[in-house]
Amino acid sequence: MSDSILTLEGVYTNIAQYHILQGVDLVVPRGGVTMLLGRNGVGKTTTLRTVIGHWRAHQGRILFDGEDITKMPTPAIARLGLGFVPEDMGIFADLTVEENMTLAAVSGPINSGRLDWIFTAFPPLKTFWKSDAGTLSGGQKQMLSIARAMVEERKLYLIDEPTKGLAPAIISTMAKALKDLKNQGSSVLLVEQNFAVAKALGDSANVMDDGRMIWAGEMDELSRDAALQERLMGLSMETH
């Protein structure tokens, strides 16, 4: 399938004795933002972590850009062109903002044009360029986490709840940056609980429950149908 950048086929992932993913099927099209939705604890984060190789699929297959990455080590998967923004942001607190960014530029020095774009999207990063990342606020850390993934062009960005616990003003900064990324033609797989953000950014949507994919379709279709949301996610997200 040439139009999909990432495909999961019947993926099962166990964490200790818990069977978290129980046959996940997911197709992420090339270009645009694909939403991964669902209630808490249904396996969204585990799905992303299985793709990047932090958890291992016990069964099933994961294809990235036509290549089977199911058993590949994490660094090799990342180098194929995957940018990962984990739920806990994964900031290196003991390193400065600059060092965090330098490290993220795996293939060499940071491209200055790209850095300008990042500074425009996230001005605080320029202000605190030489500061320890550990001293940043929660929102600034999240900006750094996303900026780190954006510092080099990737084929696919896996972003886990970028607006979690952030103030509304910062959420809109975040949403705008993600929109920029989308307008550049990047592919993004986004886990997001904020439905307004999901609605504004998402092209297609996938809903999980109990370690399986229970619905896949256009984001528009889901956001227009409150009854469907209620059925899939147990509550109408419009009220949130």
Q: Which of 54, 61, 155, 179 binds another protein (CB under 8 A)?
A: 54
Please tell me whether residue 235 binds another protein under the rule CB under 8 A.
no
Q: Which of 72, 78, 196, 228 binds another protein (CB under 8 A)?
A: 78
The H or E element containing residue 20 is strand 18-29
What are the residues whose beta carbons fall under 8 Å from the beta carbon of 8, sequence distance 6 or more?
A: 24, 25, 26, 27, 47, 51, 60, 61, 62, 63
Min dist. Cβ of residue 111 to another protein (A): 16
Q: Which of 15, 25, 90, 226 binds another protein (CB under 8 A)?
A: 90
Residue 109 Cα to chain centre, angstroms:
24
User: Which residues from 145-164 bind another protein, rule CB under 8 A?
Assistant: 148
- Cα torsion for 66, 71, 75, 77, to the nearest 10°? 20
**Cβ distance to another protein smaller for residue 109 or 185:** 109
Min dist. Cβ of residue 90 to another protein (A): 4
Please tell me whether residue 104 binds another protein under the rule CB under 8 A.
yes
Q: Which range touches another protein (CB under 8 A), out of 59-67, 88-96, 171-179, 219-227? A: 88-96
Please tell me whether residue 167 binds another protein under the rule CB under 8 A.
no
Report the alpha-carbon distance of residue 137 to residue 77 in Å, rounded.
30
What are the residues whose beta carbons fall under 8 Å from the beta carbon of 75, sequence distance 6 or more?
A: none
**Cβ distance to another protein smaller for residue 148 or 199:** 148
Please tell me whether residue 106 binds another protein under the rule CB under 8 A.
yes
Please tell me whether residue 138 binds another protein under the rule CB under 8 A.
no
**Cβ distance to another protein smaller for residue 88 or 230:** 88
For residue 200, what are its two tokens?
């504004």
Q: Which of 67, 68, 94, 116 binds another protein (CB under 8 A)?
A: 94
**Cβ distance to another protein smaller for residue 44 or 199:** 44
Burial class of residue 116 (count of CB atoms within 10 Å of its CB; 0-12, 13-18, 19+)? exposed
Secondary structure of residue 138 in the 3-state scheme: helix
The H or E element containing residue 218 is strand 212-218
What are the residues whose beta carbons fall under 8 Å from the beta carbon of 234, sequence distance 6 or more?
A: 39
Binding site for another protein (CB under 8 A): 52, 54, 73-75, 78-79, 84, 86, 88, 90, 92-95, 99-100, 102-104, 106, 134, 148
